[in-house]
Structure 1
Amino acid sequence: MKIIYTKTLLALAALLVVLPAMAQFAPPPQHIEPYNLTLGQPGKNRSVQKESDQVTLSEVVRVEGAPWLRLKFRAYNLGQHSYIVMTSLEDGGQQRLDAKSLAQWNSASAFFNGDAVLLELHVAEGESGIFATLESLNVGERGVAAAAEDSGGSETQCGPVDNRVASTDNRAGRIINGCTAWLVSNGAVLTAGHCVDWDPDGGGPLLPDGVLDLWGSFSVNVPASDPDGTINQSAPEDQFPIDTSNVVWNYDGEGQGLGKDWAVFGIFPNANGERAHLREGFYRMTRQNPAANDSMRITGYGVDTGVDNKTLQTSTGPYVGEYTGGAATNIYHRYQVDTRGANSGSPIIWRTPSPDFTVGIHTNGAAYTPMAVAVILLPARAMQARHLRLMRWKSPLRDFHGSGARYVDVVPQPNNPGQAGEVFRPYVHVPDAVSNVPNNGRVILVKGTYTKAAGNTFTAGADGKAMTFLAPVGTVIIGN
């Protein structure tokens, strides 16, 4: 039986076992190719092709034999009503972007399957100086064996058989960096720190450089890969652009101690204006400990062979117990679950409570016996010294929507840990948050119905405090 070491969001512990633990990310083979193309003309538009109230200019962008493409724009002016449309000539996947949405996509397109994309510039009547200039393309590469992408190989399985099976849990998404990320109850997205800031020199000492490397989109409904393992991309409407302006992370580097490897970021709506948390759902988080033999689950986009490579798969296994490495900051939780490269960033899901709760972020794998190991969010028996040290992680998640937040969730935490209005220990009644939120603070409400019968009656502002109510992950009904 093999052993997997995993790091998590909150436990900032150093690994006492002096054995290598490999970060489980696996970027797909791709390269950047310059591509100079301008549709339209800055200062004027002279096309004679008139279609109702707009001018349409078009060009096919092609890289022969490429399995997928992403277009990156150097400059553009789309005015108030003009827009671009991009269409895959392989499968018809289409994306329409205007000035606002193209900015949210970081001046780039979604990922398109195939080696050719039709780029159209639609110039609205009465607008001039409309143009779009391509700078480069992200070009996928074909024919690289899945094993070459896998940092851990089959040795990161917990036995001779890979027990992962296909999943449709779109709360977990694929990011192009070669990792998994997941949607959480306050509207944020979580992954491993090394998935947003990886080794800058490639060959070691595997230390991060503090520069954000995260790009692209959070993708769900990922289709099967090609028989040779080459990945295929989700439809454009199943891709949500990553907001690179608010990424907060920590990663000290490979071999620098587990438990300090986490990242928090946001995502924008897809090109249709849909928000991922509202459409796909979200995971609730807890800092409570599972019991021995509770069922644990890892769901993510790990490397595999053939058509299963980097598609959504899940595996379950028993929780083993808490491991203490002899210091207050060396607390780990052991479980036996199969993973592979690109499972980095996956949620560690506790299956016994109903609904399920997550207890940490999966980050590392290693080939040792007898069991898998995970450091979880924050064990219930954590000591005060570790609480203070964890504030740098806790604050970005708590303050994702601004400082002074109090959280409320109609679904109670497992094992009755008490309520503190925190993202890991939310109130279950709205009046508690209203009473305790600071002036000009925010009350963050998780999707659900907070009934009058359960005590959810209050008068906002009765004590003279101003506050903002936010429902970032779905519809909230209060006092029904």
Structure 2
Amino acid sequence: MRHWVKGKALLVAVLAVVAGTAQADDLSHPTAPLPHDDVDYRVDSGNQGNPSDQVEMVWSHVVNLPSYVSMRLHFSLVSLESGSVVRVVSAFDNDDQVFDGELFSEWFNTTAYFNGDTLTIELWAAPGTTNNRIVLSHVEAAKSPHPIDDGMGLGGGGQCGICGADDRAPSAVDWSGRIMNIGCTGSVYNTDSCVVSAGHCRTSGVIQFRVPNSNSNCSTNNPPALDQFPISGGQSRNSGVGADWWVTTTGTNGAGQRPYDRYGVFMPIATAAANTGQPCTINGYGVDQTCTRSQTQQLSTGSITFRSGSHYEYNADVRGGNSGSGLIVNNAIVGIVTHCSTGCPNYGTRHDNADFAAARDAVCPDSGGVECSNVKRLKARCRDNGAIKGTVILLDNSNNGDTVTVSIDNTLDLVITVVDNKAKFNVCCYSGTHNVSLKDPSNCASTNVTCP
């Protein structure tokens, strides 16, 4: 076995920078990127068999890289017979990930990102198998950065993307994920767990959800492996302001789930353009001077200040790591965050650009279902016990068996099957006034109810 550091650093806080004329400037955030090394670490399990009549662990190896705080394993060869698996477990928090050969292929022979400097690899062979082998080639390992002070450029007034004072606040929506290792943001936009982001964010990496707080020195922490999903491919364009987008699919975690399967939420693509002056929001993973918030999910608010034929300008705060975030108006994605400027405005590619829309159709085609044109009415009322009861009424029975998604205050999504041209729901318990809207199909119907 041999291992050494090649000295390659991976940038994890990417946000393109433009001046007021939308011409690219040089981005310099010297302490914002979390440095990674590709550590050449070659170890071969050799062919392993199991003559017994039960699954047995036939080989193991401990990967220990002192001074590193996060690791992801890369294998050059994985050959597992049916029923055999590989388990990777972190000594730091006992988080683990179990792969069979098919899942390894889906993850491109890599693992999730694990916390800590020590991982154990276990090879478990199925009964009667004779040819199980894995070869570890290198480790993507992150060091803890030096402590960061307010002068180092992580997110404050006068910096690229901050419009006045930085008023971002922690948020926790499950449709917005952190894309590693590039350090961008992606948004799940349908029930097939397809993701939109920025073209300059395109990578073969991992999208993480429910990201925990970072550490006091701004080093990031990884969520459990079950909240991480492989992401790669799709279609993209990276040609500057108004021409910067990426659409892709996601793979499964160790439980066979994609993001929508696990969390049950998405943010739909808008069906109409936004107008100047409309309020907008952004949920993304930008760097921050408050280290525990840096590269964790935060919400920024503002408004659309300009609309061109290909892009929007807006005054909601963004920082490095926000690239790829959905620009949200009326609970739908109208654009993709791509560029910032010092003193604002910031910039985003429009969702309805013809090439971007065509790419979504090609990469993640609509599987059918209920269209807005077939929705007759959304009825909802609140009963005395605080239960919100309602019905989505369709024009005919052609969508029987399909599903619609009803959102309560855009925080609780109810996926309901259509029966006899109706989708009925009943959810408890509420008080005060609440918004009930159709989320899938999106932007079709909305109403408010008042509970006791």
1:299 maps to which residue?
Answer: 283
Q: State the distance in 1 between where 2:166 and 2:399 align.
A: 55
Task: Say if 1:228 and 1:459 are closer, same or farther in 2 by CA, change over 3 A.
Answer: closer
- Aligned mate of 1:164, from 165, 168, 177: 168
1:454 aligns with 2:401: no
Unaligned residue ranges in structure 2 (runs of 5+): 1-14, 377-389, 406-412, 421-452
- Does residue 173 of structure 1 match 2:177? yes
Q: Distance in 1 between matches of 2:85 and 2:190?
A: 33
Structure 2 CA distance for partners of 1:131 and 1:158, relative to 1, 3 Å: closer
Does residue 112 (structure 1) correspond to residue 114 (structure 2)? The answer is yes
Q: Which residue of 2 aligns with 1:341?
A: 320
Match of 1:376 among 320, 325, 350: 350
Structure 1 match to 2:70: 68
Q: 1: CA distance between counterparts of 2:153 and 2:224?
A: 23
Give the CA RMSD over aligned residues. Answer: 3.5
Amino acid in structure 2 at the alignment position of 1:189: V
What secondary structure sits across from 1:363 in the alignment? strand
CA contact (8 A) 1:218 1:241 kept: yes
Instruction: Give the Cα separation in 2 of the matches to 1:15 and 1:406.
Output: 41
Q: 1:194 to 1:471 in 2, by over 3 A?
A: farther
Tell me, yes or no, if the aligned pair for 2:316 and 2:346 is still in contact at 8 Å: yes
**Equivalent residues of 1:154, 1:340 under 8 A apart:** no
Show the counterpart of 1:319. 304
Please tell me the residue identity of whatever aligns with 2:199: G
Contact conserved, 2:339 with 2:346, CA < 8 A, in 1?
Answer: no
Superposed CA offset, 1:115-147 (max 9, x none): 000111101111111121111100112124668
Tell me the TM-score normalised to structure 1 length.
0.70
1:94 correspondence with 2:99? no
Deviation at 1:27, TM superposition (A): 5.2
Residue 183 (structure 1) aligned with residue 162 (structure 2): no
2:359 is aligned with what amino acid?
P
Looking at both structures, which has the greater relative contact order when contacts are Cα pairs under 8 Å and sequence separation is at least 6?
A: 1
Of 206, 223, 226, which aligns to 1:237?
226
CA contact (8 A) 1:450 1:478 kept: no
Task: Give the aligned partner of residue 382 of structure 2.
Answer: none
Assess, with a 3 A threshold, how the Cα gap between structure 1 residues 194 and 54 changes in structure 2: closer, same or farther.
same
Distance change in 2, residues 1:51/1:21 (3 Å): farther
CA contact (8 A) 2:178 2:285 kept: yes
Distance in 2 between residues matched to 1:409 and 1:21, nearest whole Å: 45
Written as runs of structure 1 = structure 2, the 5 A alignment for 1:347-366 is 347-350=326-329, 353=330, 356-366=331-341
1:396 to 359, 364, 381: 359
How many angstroms does 1:401 deviate by?
A: 4.0
Instruction: Using the TM superposition, give the Cα deviation of residue 294 of structure 1 relative to its aligned residue in structure 2, in angstroms.
Output: 3.0
In the alignment, is the contact (CA less than 8 A) between 2:156 and 2:165 conserved in 1? no
The superposition leaves residues 295-326 of structure 1 with CA deviations (integer Å, 9 ceiling, x where unpaired) of: 21011000113111101111111333x445xx
> What displacement does 1:193 show?
0.3
Give the Cα–Cα distance (whole angstroms) in 1 for the partners of residues 348 and 28 of structure 2: 13
**Structure 2: distance between partners of 1:109 and 1:318:** 40
Tell me, in whole angstroms, the C-alpha distance in 2 between the residues paired with 1:457 and 1:158.
50
CA distance in 2, matches of 1:222, 1:476: 29
> What is the Cα deviation at residue 154 of structure 1?
5.3
Would the alpha carbon gap of residues 470 and 136 (structure 1) be closer, same or farther in structure 2, given more than 3 Å must change? farther
Which of the numbers 243, 251, 255 marks the counterpart of 1:260? 243
Q: What letter is aligned with 1:458?
A: S
Tell me the secondary structure at the aligned position of residue 359 of structure 2: helix
Which residue identity is paired with 2:337?
H
**Counterpart code for 1:98:** D
- Is residue 225 of structure 1 aligned with residue 214 of structure 2? yes
1:477 matched residue in structure 2: 417
Report deviation, 1:56. 3.5
Q: Which amino acid aligns with 1:286?
A: A
Aligned to 1:415: none
Tell me the amino acid that sits aligned with residue 170 of structure 1. D
Kindly indicate whether residue 289 of structure 2 is the aligned counterpart of residue 283 of structure 1.
no
* Distance of 2:188 and 2:28 partners within structure 1: 19
Correspondence for 1:248: 235
Q: Is this contact kept in 2: 1:287–1:377, CA < 8 A?
A: no
The match for 2:81 is: 79
Q: Counterpart of 1:156 in 2: which secondary structure? A: coil
Q: Which moved more, 1:102-111 or 1:285-294?
A: 285-294
- Residue deviations 1:405-436 (CA, integer Å, cap 9, x gap): 575456x5xxxxxx5xxxxxxx658xxxxxxx
SS at match of 2:145: coil
Read off the aligned partner of 1:296 and give its amino acid letter: C
Question: CA separation of 1:121/1:303 partners in 2, compared to 1, >3 Å: closer, same or farther?
Answer: same
Change (3 A) 1:77 1:349: same
Instruction: Please tell me whether the aligned partners of residues 155 and 162 of structure 2 are also in contact (alpha carbons under 8 angstroms).
Output: no
CA contact (8 A) 2:93 2:115 kept: yes
**Which range is displaced more, 146-155 or 179-188?**
146-155
Tell me the secondary structure at the aligned position of residue 279 of structure 1.
Answer: helix
CA separation in 2, counterparts of 1:397 and 1:23?
A: 30
The DSSP-based 3-state class of the residue aligned with 1:362 is: strand
Cα distance change, pair 362–192 in 1 and its aligned pair in 2 (3 A): same
1:194 aligns with 2:200: yes
Task: Name the CA shift for 1:115/1:475 in 2 (closer, same or farther; >3 Å).
Answer: same
Report the AA paired with residue 457 of structure 1.
N
- Equivalent residues of 2:270, 2:334 under 8 A apart: yes
Q: CA offsets, 1:337-391, max 9 Å, x none?
A: 11111100001011xx3xx11110001111145x44545323xxxxxxxxxxx54
When normalised by structure 2's length, the TM-score is: 0.74
Q: Describe the SS at the equivalent of 1:399.
A: helix
Equivalenced residues, count: 377
The offset of 1:73, in angstroms, is 0.8
DSSP-derived class of the 1:359 partner? strand
Change (3 A) 1:260 1:21: farther
Which SS does the other structure have where 1:299 is aligned?
A: strand
Q: Deviations over 1:143-170 (max 9, x none)?
A: 2466878699951344442101111112
Classify the secondary structure of the residue corresponding to 1:36. Answer: strand
From the superposition, tell whether residues 401 and 373 of structure 1 become closer, same or farther in structure 2 (CA, over 3 Å): closer
